[in-house]
């Protein structure tokens, strides 16, 4: 049966749709309205960009001033901290000219002198060291990690104290097999900086030998009572700070920053801890001491 109510409702819906379409069409066709909205958005964006640029410029000026302040304060903070002290640098594995330069700068600005730079081959060339040790009990080095650790202790002692004549003679004999580079003269040091490369691409036997030697090396340094400090750059991956901590050695993880170089000077002067910007650091700098 035909119902006029349904017919009326359908007609009303059609008329409403037509009205909405007309309104939308008029709005779309009104170029002035669209242009006005566009101009408003562009103006707002330009204003926000301009404000952001001004803020960035202000922050850059502030950062430049703070860097100038830090650079000016740094020499005063480390002045004569290592006055007259002989400092050594040993690379466990690959050496780095960049790290060498940063260490040298930090030591000299604090009044010290980088007198010895050495790089230990890793993995250790045990056959070459054994051959160069013929006539001593270190000729059996390759067969005993305990003997390797004792040898490492001798090397650590020699790097910081010079030792007796017989020990100096032995170290001179094995230097070619043990080290890939050596610059300086053996003698009394008052601080040793250690840079450990990531021990990759080693067999289990090679890793065990290197671990024994490194443990002995730091043990020999500690036995003489000389402070040792492990260092790395901010971007060093994987970090070796945890390894330094396991050996009870102070560390600096941001040597490439002024704060890191200052921390190195203070650590060589006796401050103990892990300093830098990484999660493994205890603090950025050592606490102020009289």
160-180 per-position pLDDT tens digit: 886 555 556 777 888 999 999
Work out the number of other CB atoms within 10 angstroms of the CB of residue 201.
7
Instruction: Tell me: do 86 and 54 sit in the same domain.
Output: no
Spatial contact of 132 and 179, defined as CB atoms under 8 Å apart: no
Residue 32 domain flag: yes
Backbone phi and psi for residue 115, each to the nearest 5 degrees, phi listed first: -95, -20
Instruction: Tell me: do 167 and 216 sit in the same domain.
Output: yes
pLDDT at 12: 59
Residue 72 domain flag: no
Residue 68 domain flag: no
Please determine, for residue 215, whether its predicted confidence score (pLDDT) is greater than 80: yes
Range(s) of the domain holding residue 161:
82-275
Instruction: Tell me: do 212 and 266 sit in the same domain.
Output: yes
How far apart are alpha carbons 180 and 201 in whole angstroms?
A: 18
DSSP assignment letter at 122: S
Number of compact structural domains in the chain: 2
Instruction: Tell me: do 49 and 156 sit in the same domain.
Output: no
Instruction: Tell me: do 159 and 258 sit in the same domain.
Output: yes
Provide the CATH number for the domain around residue 133.
Answer: 3.40.50
pLDDT at 41: 80
What does the block give as tokens for 48? 């926000």
Structure confidence by residue, pLDDT tens digits, 228-249: 999 999 999 999 999 999 999 9
Structure confidence by residue, pLDDT tens digits, 114-125: 999 999 999 999
Backbone phi and psi for residue 186, each to the nearest 5 degrees, phi listed first: -65, 135
pLDDT at 1: 47
Instruction: Tell me: do 130 and 239 sit in the same domain.
Output: yes
Instruction: Tell me: do 110 and 249 sit in the same domain.
Output: yes
Residue 158 domain flag: yes
Residue-averaged pLDDT of the chain: 84
Instruction: Tell me: do 93 and 206 sit in the same domain.
Output: yes
Please determine, for residue 209, whether its predicted confidence score (pLDDT) is greater than 60: yes
How far apart are alpha carbons 220 and 232 in whole angstroms?
A: 22
Instruction: Tell me: do 128 and 214 sit in the same domain.
Output: yes
String of b and e for 37-74 (b: at least 16 CB within 10 Å)?
Answer: eeeeeeeeeeeeeeeeeeeeeeeeeeeeeeeeeeeeeb
pTM strictly above 0.85: no
């Amino acid at each position: 049966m035909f119902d006029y109510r349904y017919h009326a409702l359908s007609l009303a819906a059609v008329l409403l749709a037509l009205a909405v379409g007309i309104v939308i069409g008029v709005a779309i066709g009104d170029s002035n309205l669209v242009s006005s909205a566009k101009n408003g958005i562009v103006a707002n964006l330009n204003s926000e960009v301009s404000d952001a640029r001004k803020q960035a410029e202000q922050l850059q000026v502030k950062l430049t001033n703070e860097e100038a302040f830090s650079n000016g304060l740094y020499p005063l903070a480390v002045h004569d901290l290592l006055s007259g002290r002989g400092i050594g640098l040993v690379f466990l594995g690959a050496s780095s000219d960049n790290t060498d330069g940063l260490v040298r700068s930090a030591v000299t600005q604090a009044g010290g002198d980088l007198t010895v730079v050495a790089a230990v081959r890793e993995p250790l060339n045990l056959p070459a060291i054994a051959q160069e040790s013929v006539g001593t009990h270190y000729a059996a080095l390759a067969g005993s990690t305990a003997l390797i650790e004792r040898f490492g202790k001798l090397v650590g002692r020699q790097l910081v104290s010079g030792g007796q004549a017989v020990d100096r003679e032995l170290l001179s004999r094995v230097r070619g097999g043990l080290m890939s580079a050596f610059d300086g003269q053996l003698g009394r040091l008052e601080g040793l900086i250690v840079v450990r490369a990531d021990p990759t691409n080693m067999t289990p036997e090679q890793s065990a030998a290197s671990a024994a030697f490194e443990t002995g090396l730091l043990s020999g340094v500690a036995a003489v009572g000389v402070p040792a400090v492990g260092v790395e750059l901010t971007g060093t991956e994987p970090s070796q700070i945890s390894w330094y901590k396991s050996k009870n050695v102070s560390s600096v993880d941001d040597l490439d920053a002024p704060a890191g170089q200052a921390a190195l000077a203070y650590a060589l002067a006796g401050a103990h801890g892990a300093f830098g910007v990484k999660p493994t650091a205890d603090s950025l700098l050592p606490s102020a001491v009289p």
